[in-house]
Amino acid sequence: MVDNNTMMAVLMVLEDTDDEQDTEDPIVPLLAVLATTLEGHEVPKVAEYSETVVPLYDNQRFRRMFRMSRNTFELICTYMKDLPEMTTDGAGGREPISIEKQLQVTMWYFGTLDTIDRIADRFGVSLSSVIRIRDKVTGAIVRHMKTKFIVWPQDREIGEVVDQFSQRNGFPGIVGSLDGTHIQIRRPSDHGQSYVNRKGYHSLQLQAVCKLDMSFTHAFTGYPGSCHDSRILKNSDLWQNGLQMCRPGNHIIADGGYPLRKWLLTPFRNNGHLTREQRRYNYYLSSNRVVIERAFALLKGRLRRLLYLDTLNIETADQVARDNMVNIALIQDHEAEGVLRRNQIARDLL
């Protein structure tokens, strides 16, 4: 019989070796399949891991384990303690679970591909507690804290963001880089085919805008993998409010999968006859736009659960069938303004 002290010692040794790799790896999604085959394997519960082992972690190890610094972790706990739904968790007469432990459980879930069984074993709680805690903490973050951490730049900050992008290669007026990424999921029970993306696997899409420092300023998610980038954009609030959000003279940059607008600049389509200034424009835009791809890679590297969500509990895809009808005259008018701005910038980059 393995005692708890031995188990905790083994865990700390394993964490030093297994968690050194904190970068995205194409093989990681396959581990989710392997993990599901281990669900029936009995592992002794580790008593007081959260209460006894975690406090011994130095800052570097704490960040590896929970994907954030200890200071950030404590800040989130402080926010949560003021939320009515985030009372200490305790069900069925069990001892209440502290907010700190609930956040640890949730971050472990999102930061690893461990099964619910293994997370329950590590933290010494039941399977149902892991699921309940995950849903409660995630819901609280979305409802109350999203606007604290994903914030569109305002006033002076917009000018600072524009200056930071401009200092890279002189491309003016950039307030953010836009793109989408696929989050692989298990085949949903309803409308499964709608979630198959162009690469052949089921996914949800995350659309986001980020600054040069890779911090996200806007996020929109929930659409099936089969939806085109431009369709997702047109169903987001960014489509309706983009011009106002960017402020006069500024714009978001994106790849050619998005429509050209006065506030959304895309590359010139390469038809084999681009001028020198058009090629330069495309190069400068691309070198700035790549920051969003790096931001997604960082996000999935830190929160590895986003590499594969093994769940059937997602919203039905029926709402996706509703298209926003856009007046063709309005589209043409906005695109004409985008063409003029794009051509002017291409000339000015000489």
3-state helix, strand, coil in the chain (%, to 5): 55, 10, 35
For residue 47, pLDDT beyond 80: no
Query: What residue has token string 């001892």?
Result: 95
Cα–Cα distance, 246 to 152 (Å, whole number): 9
Burial of 340 (0-12, 13-18, 19+ CB in 10 A): exposed
Quote the pLDDT of residue 158: 96
- Give the 3-state secondary structure of residue 265: strand
Structure tokens at 38: 């281990």
Band the pLDDT of 302: cuts 50, 70, 90: confident
**Domain range list for the chain:** 4-149, 156-348
Q: Which percentage of the chain shows pLDDT scores above 70?
A: 74
pLDDT digits (tens, 9 = 90+) for 118-129: 999 999 999 999
Band the pLDDT of 159: cuts 50, 70, 90: very high
For residues 312-336, give the mean pLDDT.
31
Quote the pLDDT of residue 32: 34
Quote the pLDDT of residue 263: 97
Band the pLDDT of 25: cuts 50, 70, 90: very low
CA 274 to chain centre: 35
Query: What residue has token string 């690893």?
Result: 112
Helices (H), 252-312: 276-302
Q: Name the residue with higher pLDDT: 158 or 349.
A: 158
Quote the pLDDT of residue 345: 76
Sheet with 174-184, strands from edge to edge, namely: 216-224, 203-210, 174-184, 251-253, 264-265
Cα–Cα distance, 219 to 311 (Å, whole number): 21
Quote the pLDDT of residue 213: 87
For residue 131, pLDDT beyond 60: yes
CA Rg value for the chain: 23
